[in-house]
Amino acid sequence: MEFVPVIGLEVHAQLKTRTKIFCSCSTRFGAPPNTHVCPVCLGMPGVLPVLNQTVVEFAMRMALATNCRIAPESRFARKNYFYPDLPKGYQISQYELPIAEHGRVYITRPDGSKKRIGLTRIHMEEDAGKLIHDPDRAVSYVDYNRTGVPLIEIVSEPDIESPEEAGAYLRQLRAIVRYLGISDGNMEEGSFRCDANVSVRPEDSQTLGTRTELKNLNSFKFVEKALAYEIERQIGVLAENGEVVQETRLWDTAKNRTVSMRGKEEAHDYRYFQDPDLVPLKIDEAWIGRIKSDLPELPDARKDRFMDQYGLPAYDADVLTGARELADYFEACAQAVNNPKLVSNWIMGSLLGLLNAEGKSIEETPISARQMAELLKLIDDEVISGKIAKTVFDEMVASGKTPKAIVEEKGLVQVTDQSAIEVVVDKVIADCPDEVAAYQAGKKKLLGFFVGRVMKETQGKANPQMVNTLLKKKLG
Ligand code: ADP
Ligand code: MG
Ligand code: ZN
């Protein structure tokens, strides 16, 4: 029997507001422990929370960007549980009436087609503090700076059908929060977290199987690996007529497997109830309209525009719009050089290759868009060949010099003087009588050999089209 995976993700994004969700403490990361705290976020008796308007507006931005319906009235509830990182003994979160529901985002499949992933809901809540365990002694410390930092939780429908789709969905959400400027979206640093729910069902059945929930997934790679492992594990259980147990499992990064953390019986009863200290949140159409008019162009729309305006393939458009800064970089180059596919190839190949190898983001690029455009202009105007351009690119990275300076200094200008190329072509033909005979006897593949020889003789500077044409003419 064939099984299909069913995946639904719960994503927490930390919001980049200046202050916390219910008090005016700073959210700045990296301050000495317990310096950004006050009676409200420490949960002292008798204090009153006051909702931060920017948190609401950031949540509204996300809701509108993902085509959610914003509730005219939503509520905050208390989620009760005991843990040392939660001084109040409850977390304020939205439960029955979240700020937004019924949204969708689109992911791009490897073949370029789009797939819709439904969003069940988006709600606002506060973060808990952080426990720090002493590696040398049986002691733990608690830092309440993060207590009360705003989060949004984005819950997907179980529309995701493979670990790769889960990865694509997360990248899409991350791109959206970054375009919106509401979160850093950094998984490794914990400002973007994901719990993955996964089950498998027989291909011919629409009934969902029993799911497990995976935690401790702090990189895209771990999400995909943990899901792949868990899908195989569940299929294995079912293939032997066993039963999948509903439980929470942790990804063990050292052993590359998931391990059971707690079963359904041990699941918390949070005893939710409406927080009596907070009034219902009312959002009218006028407010929604103001937030809507302020939204930037989003990744999906920008992707479509890149395909229309620049004629790029879906794959290129998807990669280039994955980050706002990368898309800006592309557009800056594409405006200077009227050859979008050339620009795209160089950014996706050489530039992203370099950045990936060095673990850098586009913001840290050693080559500015202006310098890149200058290099691409030299190629497009046929001043240098693509091959020489690679050398120039490497030299730009190494020395920080401009492409023009490098080309001049090293005498790399392409030879487009026909008579000069002809001299070399004639020499190569005279030097290789055996190959010439073989070519003329029908071994046409040898053309590449002759081209290679001419390029070598000219240190790669001869115009390749001219070399090809001349060789064909002379070899007959
Ligand atoms: P909980 O409140 O326990 O977290 P929810 O019903 O809110 O449960 O679902 C949480 C996530 O689990 C959602 O993203 C949803 O799409 C997903 N989900 C629900 N049922 C299944 C299932 N059978 N298989 C895979 N994912 C599921
Ligand atoms: Mg859950
Ligand atoms: Zn505070």
| Tokens matching residue 108 | 């791009």
**Burial zone of 26 (CB within 10 Å; 0-12 exposed, 13-18 middle, 19+ buried):** middle
Model confidence at 459, pLDDT cuts 50, 70, 90, reads confident
The arithmetic mean of pLDDT across residues 18-41, rounded, is 96
Residue ranges per structural domain of the chain = 3-289, 297-410, 418-475
Strand ranges in 144-243 using DSSP code E only, listed in sequence order:
150-156, 192-202, 212-217
Contact 100, 152 (CB under 8 A): no
Spacing of C-alpha 307 from chain mean position: 19
Reference 153, options 105, 90, 222, 101; nearest CA is: 101
pLDDT of 110: 79
Q: Whose CA is nearest to atom 3 of ligand 1?
A: 213
Q: Whose CA is nearest to atom 13 of ligand 1?
A: 8
Reference 461, options 374, 397, 391, 398; nearest CA is: 391
Model confidence at 407, pLDDT cuts 50, 70, 90, reads confident
Triad 184, 187, 193: Cα angle to 5°: 100
Most informative mutation of 197, 217, 235 for ligand 1 (most atoms within 8 A of CB): 197
Reference 158, options 201, 125, 112; nearest CA is: 201
Model confidence at 36, pLDDT cuts 50, 70, 90, reads very high
Q: Which atom of ligand 1 is nearest to the CA of 156?
A: 14
pTM of the model: 0.85
Cβ of 10 closer than 6 Å to ligand 1, yes or no, is: yes
pLDDT digits (tens, 9 = 90+) for 174-190: 999 999 999 999 998 88
Q: Indicate if the pLDDT at residue 264 is higher than 80.
A: no
Collapsing DSSP states into helix, strand and coil, what is residue 140?
Answer: strand
Cβ of 103 closer than 6 Å to ligand 1, yes or no, is: no
pLDDT digits (tens, 9 = 90+) for 355-406: 999 999 899 999 999 999 999 999 998 888 888 899 999 999 999 999 999 9
Contact 303, 106 (CB under 8 A): no
Q: Indicate if the pLDDT at residue 69 is higher than 90.
A: yes
Spell out the SS3 assignment of 24-80: CCECCCCCCCCCCCCCCCCCCCCCCCCCCHHHHHHHHHHHHHCCCEECCEECCEEEE
Cβ of 157 closer than 6 Å to ligand 1, yes or no, is: yes
pLDDT of 15: 98
Contact 177, 122 (CB under 8 A): no
Model confidence at 217, pLDDT cuts 50, 70, 90, reads very high
Cβ of 227 closer than 6 Å to ligand 1, yes or no, is: no
Cβ of 85 closer than 6 Å to ligand 1, yes or no, is: no
Cβ of 396 closer than 6 Å to ligand 1, yes or no, is: no
Model confidence at 309, pLDDT cuts 50, 70, 90, reads very high
Reference 390, options 422, 337, 354, 360; nearest CA is: 354
Distance 198 CA to ligand 3 centre (A): 37
Q: Whose CA is nearest to atom 11 of ligand 1?
A: 8
The arithmetic mean of pLDDT across residues 315-321, rounded, is 93
DSSP 8-state code for residue 286: H
Output the CATH code of domain 418-475: 1.10.10.410
Long-range contacts of 384-387 (CB under 8 A, 24+ apart): 384/412, 384/413, 384/414, 385/414, 385/460, 385/461, 385/462, 385/463, 385/464, 387/455, 387/460
Contact 403, 453 (CB under 8 A): no
pLDDT digits (tens, 9 = 90+) for 127-178: 999 999 999 999 999 999 999 999 999 999 999 999 999 999 999 999 999 9
- Reported residue count of the chain is 476
Cβ of 211 closer than 6 Å to ligand 1, yes or no, is: yes
DSSP 8-state code for residue 7: E
Collapsing DSSP states into helix, strand and coil, what is residue 301?
Answer: helix
- pLDDT more than 90, % of the chain: 83
Model confidence at 460, pLDDT cuts 50, 70, 90, reads confident
